[in-house]
A and B are shown apart, each in its own frame.
With several copies, the nearest count.
Chain A
Amino acid sequence: MMRYRRKEVFLLVVEPVKKLQRPLKSLLPVLTLLILPNLAFAEDVLSAGDTAWMLTATALVLLMTIPGLSLFYAGMVRSKNVLSVMMQCFAITGMMSILWVVYGYSLAFSDGGSLNSWIGGLDNFMLLNITVDSLSGTIPETVFMTFQMTFFIITPALIVGAFAERMKFSAMLWFMAIWGTIVYLPICHWVWGGGWLSQLSTGPLDFAGGTVVHINAAVAGLVASVMIGPRKGYKKVLMAPHNLTFTLIGAALLWVGWFGFNAGSELAADGTAGMAMAVTQIATAMAALTWMFVEWLKHGKPSVLGIASGAVGGLVAITPASGSVGPTGAIVIGFAAGVGCYWGATVLKNKFNYDDSLDVFGVHGIGGIIGALLTGVFVSAGLGGVGFGEGVTMAAQLGAQAISVIVTLVWSGVLSIIILKVIDKIIGIRVPEEEEIEGLDITSHDERGYSL
């Protein structure tokens, strides 16, 4: 995906021609001569079709966080904490939106001048210079901005699952605000905003955010779950999901909304968007089935939590690949994600004994890494993908993928540790033990989830 707003004259010329080709494809030979003189000075032209899709895609990504992710997570905690996780997702939605408007969009996507390899500038501080008529490619810049905002919302919201049932609400807000600013915005700029990762000779492929969103969030979650420590009674008392109907519905809404996430990342309603949607569906289905069958084989029964987790793992894994691979790649990626995320959530976690409450790392971390790496394989035209860039080998591409994974792991991991340490020093990151026992709904929010 080319998210970097095209400003060079070259693109300005090419783009309208490309778009015009659609309705006018067959007119071109005849009209080219007439048109060209004008095109040389033309600006981007709005496509109502692309805009229609991107308005929809933006709504779909918001649907992923609230209600999707909220429900997915809410169902997995104990009933005394159900509101707390939903509240966290909702408050994050509000807060990240405002931060995005104030400086987030600008730092991620505007031109950072001499610092542009590292971070964007402040030209769009408070969305200055964005008007009703501003375009980004063939869609209004407002739409591009809002679409990207939804990514800035869901990424921190994903982290919530790792420290669910024990983190202080105020500390959570501080963490997300700072993490979003110093971890997410730079990485987003590096990958999609024209920063250094996108300028490597062989750039890593991350169509819809495998690294920026999922690995990024997963590492932060892992760090947080370790630093905050396990829930009281972890591995001793029953911490079964209190409402798996919510978890399944949440997974379903994530699935539906993810079409906006992946196919929307094309920023247009075209063949690539279509293929992105198709492979998203295929990989997700495959991963859901795979987890289900693996569990069935190993434990004798297929479970709702399993199939839902598998679906989410598949969605994560296809995310970076969705603009590059074909159906075959999607099936393999889905299969690998099903197996890998199952292993992440059931084996890996138990081996290292951290309490990543809702398996953010097991699903988004492992799924994200699998997807990022396999993108480097299945982009190959021979395997049904769109093909490597000019002169790029599979090894080179795999290397680029690995670099982007490692950079994300390190950057997000190290900074998350520092941020949490500081917040813990100043206000503390964990609720007192009695509050944890009584449940965060009553103690942090003076409310109860259900009085049926």
Chain B
Amino acid sequence: MKMVSAIIKPFKLDDAREALSDIGISGITVTEVKGFGRQKGHSELYRGAEYVVDFLPKVKLEIAVDDALVEKVIESIISAAATGKIGDGKIFVSDLEQVVRIRTGETGNDAL
């Protein structure tokens, strides 16, 4: 099994989730994160003091999937979350050795 982590723009979350549903993914864990990258942040101005805020709000999706599904998941995330503008984000894939469903104790693909 693999863990696919995607950092995307917050307002694309709904689209991404729908796209993943469409390919049969029902489990996702979402985290609000801040991203530093090529995309420039905004500046905030408080009584003449200008702060360049270079972190940007992003969301991270984590999806544990069977190896066979990784490519489909990546594609569907890209199709949903890409705007073509800088800052669209990244997808990271890493190996998962074990998955357990807490409720039942099931493991492996059954637990997804």
Determine direct contact between A and B, CB below 8 Å. yes
Which one of B20-28, B39-47, B59-67, B69-77 contacts A? B39-47
Answer yes or no: B106 CB below 8 A from chain A CBs: no
Minimum CB distance partner of A438 in chain B: B42
Query: Do B14 and A237 touch across chains, with their CB atoms under 8 A apart?
Result: yes
* A residues 300-322 touching B (CB-CB < 8 Å): 301, 303, 305-306, 309
Please give the number of chain A residues whose Cβ is less than 8 angstroms from any Cβ of chain B in the complex: 26
* A residues 411-450 touching B (CB-CB < 8 Å): 437-438, 442-443, 446-448
Give the interface SS of chain A, mostly helix, strand, loop or mixed: helix
Query: Do B48 and A446 touch across chains, with their CB atoms under 8 A apart?
Result: no
Chain B residues near A241 (CB-CB < 8 A): 46
Complex interface bits, A237-250 against B, C-beta within 8 A gives 1, otherwise 0: 11011000000000
CA distance A257 to B43 in the complex (A): 34
B residues with CB within 8 A of A: 11, 14, 42-51, 53
Query: Do A347 and B46 touch across chains, with their CB atoms under 8 A apart?
Result: no
CA distance A267 to B50 in the complex (A): 44
* A residues 348-391 touching B (CB-CB < 8 Å): 350, 359, 362
Closest Cβ of chain A to B54, distance in Å, is 10
Query: Do B47 and A345 touch across chains, with their CB atoms under 8 A apart?
Result: yes
Query: Do A446 and B43 touch across chains, with their CB atoms under 8 A apart?
Result: yes
Query: Do B51 and A238 touch across chains, with their CB atoms under 8 A apart?
Result: yes
Query: Do A448 and B44 touch across chains, with their CB atoms under 8 A apart?
Result: yes
A residues with CB within 8 A of B: 235, 237-238, 240-241, 295, 299, 301, 303, 305-306, 309, 342, 345-347, 350, 359, 362, 437-438, 442-443, 446-448
CA distance A448 to B51 in the complex (A): 12
CA distance A299 to B26 in the complex (A): 29
Chain B residues near A238 (CB-CB < 8 A): 51, 53
Query: Do A305 and B42 touch across chains, with their CB atoms under 8 A apart?
Result: no
CA distance A301 to B43 in the complex (A): 11
Chain B residues near A240 (CB-CB < 8 A): 44, 46, 51
Query: Do B47 and A346 touch across chains, with their CB atoms under 8 A apart?
Result: yes
CA distance A347 to B44 in the complex (A): 17
18 further contact pairs, Cβ within 8 A, besides A438-B42, A442-B44: A235-B49, A237-B14, A241-B46, A295-B45, A299-B45, A299-B50, A303-B45, A305-B46, A305-B47, A345-B47, A345-B48, A442-B42, A446-B42, A446-B43, A446-B44, A447-B45, A447-B46, A448-B44
CA distance A438 to B43 in the complex (A): 13
Chain A residues near B14 (CB-CB < 8 A): 237
CA distance A359 to B46 in the complex (A): 11
CA distance A448 to B45 in the complex (A): 10
Q: B46: which of A303, A350, A438, A443 is its contact (CB, 8 Å)?
A: A303
Chain B residues near A295 (CB-CB < 8 A): 45
In the complex with contacts A237-B14, A238-B53, A437-B11, A447-B48 CB distance below 8 A = no
Q: B48: which of A301, A347, A437, A443 is its contact (CB, 8 Å)?
A: A347
Q: Can you pick out 9 interface pairs between chain A and chain B where the beta carbons lie within 8 Å of each other?
A: A238-B53, A241-B46, A305-B46, A306-B47, A346-B48, A442-B42, A446-B43, A446-B44, A447-B46
Chain A residues near B48 (CB-CB < 8 A): 299, 342, 345-347, 350
CA distance A237 to B11 in the complex (A): 9
CA distance A446 to B46 in the complex (A): 8
CA distance A346 to B47 in the complex (A): 6
Minimum CB distance partner of B44 in chain A: A446
CA distance A83 to B53 in the complex (A): 18
Interface-central residue, B14, B43, B44, by most chain A CB under 10 Å: B44
Closest Cβ of chain A to B22, distance in Å, is 16
Minimum CB distance partner of A299 in chain B: B45
Chain B residues near A309 (CB-CB < 8 A): 47
Chain A residues near B50 (CB-CB < 8 A): 299
Minimum CB distance partner of A244 in chain B: B46
CA distance A444 to B11 in the complex (A): 19
Chain B residues near A237 (CB-CB < 8 A): 11, 14
CA distance A240 to B47 in the complex (A): 10
Chain A residues near B11 (CB-CB < 8 A): 237, 437
A-B CB proximity, top 9 nearest = A346-B48, A446-B45, A345-B47, A238-B51, A442-B42, A446-B44, A305-B46, A240-B46, A437-B11
Chain A residues near B43 (CB-CB < 8 A): 446
Chain B residues near A305 (CB-CB < 8 A): 46-47
Chain A residues near B51 (CB-CB < 8 A): 238, 240
Minimum CB distance partner of A437 in chain B: B11
Minimum CB distance partner of A303 in chain B: B45
CA distance A437 to B44 in the complex (A): 17
Chain B residues near A235 (CB-CB < 8 A): 49
